[in-house]
Structure 1
Amino acid sequence: MIRLASVLTLWVACLQSQAQEIELNLPDHDDKKYFLGIGLIYNSSRFNITHDPTFLQQDSIQSIEAQNAGGFGLAGMHTYRISKRFEIRAIFPQLLFSYKNLTYHLKTPDGAKEEQKVMTKRLESILVGLPVHLKFRSDRINNFRVYMFGGAKFEYDIASNSTARRAENLVKLSKYDFGVEAGIGFSFYFPVFILSPEIKFSNGLMNTHSRDPNLKFSNTIDKLNSRMILFSLIFEG
């Protein structure tokens, strides 16, 4: 027992010695009240579909499925420190190239319009957004820190086709969306910058479908709510 206690004491002493030898990168960063960053973003997006009541009464479309599609984006990060634990972060400008797929299973395809039994409509959005988050940070462990955050977003789709007139095969999307977001990130302190891999879940609360009863692929849908998972690499100085 004495020998085991001696080994444990020596092991703890070695760990403490190694911890003391680790050099802290950017030791004065936590004293900053405000700092900037840039984010490189990959997003995976889809729609949550609510069918129109007339869906069961029509005989052309059998079913509609929402499928994930990938996209990318860039963002500017503006962070203001409130206290040791809390920060407010505004992401602006946030520019996302987002794609969402709707797959239709048709009962009676129209050969004259080159329709098939299974057809996928790819909807493209170019979203200019302003998310605002409240961040909760853990203690800094040497050159590492964990944080969680939640907040809201506002987005404007500059590629919206809601005003298109001749759009027989389109599903129209509105220009605006509002939603809630939450996620977790990990900060790694390097000598001249901080790298933070981050995952975020974003749910749109507004109906982004601009329904047109005259469009075959639109009139069977009542609501389209956006769902998005974002993976970001954030660089801060």
Structure 2
Amino acid sequence: MKKIIATFGLLFCFFQGNAQLFSGESIINQENFDKKRWSWGYYLGFNTYDLDFNLKDFKPTGPFQDKNYNVEKTIGFNVGLVGSLKLNNNLDLRLEPGVSFNKRNFQLLKADQNTFREINSTYVHIPLLLKFSTDRLNNFRPFVVGGVSTSLNLSSNENNPDDNSVGQFRMKTNTYYYEVGFGIDLYLYYFKLSPSIRGVFAINDELVPDDSPSSIYTGNVDTMKTRGVFINFTFQ
């Protein structure tokens, strides 16, 4: 979180030094940018991932209480490429393949044994998105974005024969999501910068159950799905 605050602080200082972005002056940067049929770029950003557990049989007491599943979220890193196809003056189709790195710490809070698991994830993430933008106002253009995506979890352990009985927390390799978010295009002198924030929600179950049906980790879990937040800075 400190990294995110520091990044926004640097951006604020930068924009303060380019006061024309926030003024009513008629200096228009990158005036012909949005006339291009195709545009390309890259993005850098931060992420945080959570796990949403849906239980088969909720029990107010015992080892399967919903509140026992504790996930400590951390800040991860995103990097990727952007390809954008202009459909009309306000709508673009975007492909944003990239890689995201993250770590989640998982633990059962009321268990009589050490249940801590460190879940390191490296995702190859491929979103296909529709971006709806307002008409441009000086050097600003707010937008909303939404679509679907898929990811390949290179650290999933899906085919590992070991399970939580020997300390291995397993997830499925392939995951499918829907995504929604918003942001703003800032037309700078040399390029366009687009800060955005996006929610990412898994559609399919990602849990690989333990071999034992009575496992305290997976025995009473119906589905486990990822939820995430991406904060990206796109350069075009």
Q: What is the TM-score of this pair, normalised by structure 1?
A: 0.80
The total of aligned residue pairs comes to 208
Query: Secondary structure of the residue that 2:116 maps to in structure 1?
Result: strand
What RMSD over aligned residues (CA atoms) do the two structures have, in Å?
2.2
Bigger Rg, which one: 1
Give the corresponding residue for 1:38.
42
Note the 1:118-137 alignment, pairs <5 A: 119-137=115-133
* CA drift at 1:144: 1.0
- 2:229 is the alignment partner of 1:234: no
Deviation string, structure 1 residues 77-131 (Cα, Å, up to 9, x no partner) = 0000010011101112x1011222322123423xxxxx2xxx4322111111210
2:84 to 79, 83, 89: 79
Instruction: Note the residue ranges of structure 1 that are not aligned, 5 or more in a row.
Output: 1-17, 110-114
> Aligned to 1:24, which of 28, 39, 48?
28
Once residues 112 and 160 of structure 2 are traced to their aligned partners in structure 1, the CA distance between those partners, rounded to angstroms, is 26
Q: 1:105 aligns with which of 106, 109, 124?
A: 109
Give 2:6's aligned residue: none
1:177 equivalenced with 2:179 (yes/no)? no
User: Partner letter of residue 229 of structure 2?
Assistant: I
Aligned-residue offset at 1:22: 2.6
What is the aligned partner in structure 2 of residue 7 from structure 1?
none
Q: Is the 8 A contact 2:78 2:232 kept in 1?
A: no
Deviations 1:146-173 (A, max 9, x none): 0111100111111110111233222210
Gaps of 5+ in 2: 1-22
Cα contact 1:205–1:225 (8 A) shared by 2? yes
| Percent sequence identity over aligned pairs | 21
The alignment's TM-score, normalised by the length of structure 2, stands at 0.81
Q: Secondary structure at the match of 2:34?
A: helix
The offset of 1:216, in angstroms, is 4.6
TM-superposed deviation, 1:134? 0.7
Which deviates more from structure 2 when the two are superposed, residues 160-169 or residues 133-142? Answer: 160-169
Change (3 A) 1:230 1:34: same
Q: Secondary structure at the match of 1:49?
A: strand
The equivalent of 1:144 in structure 2 is 140
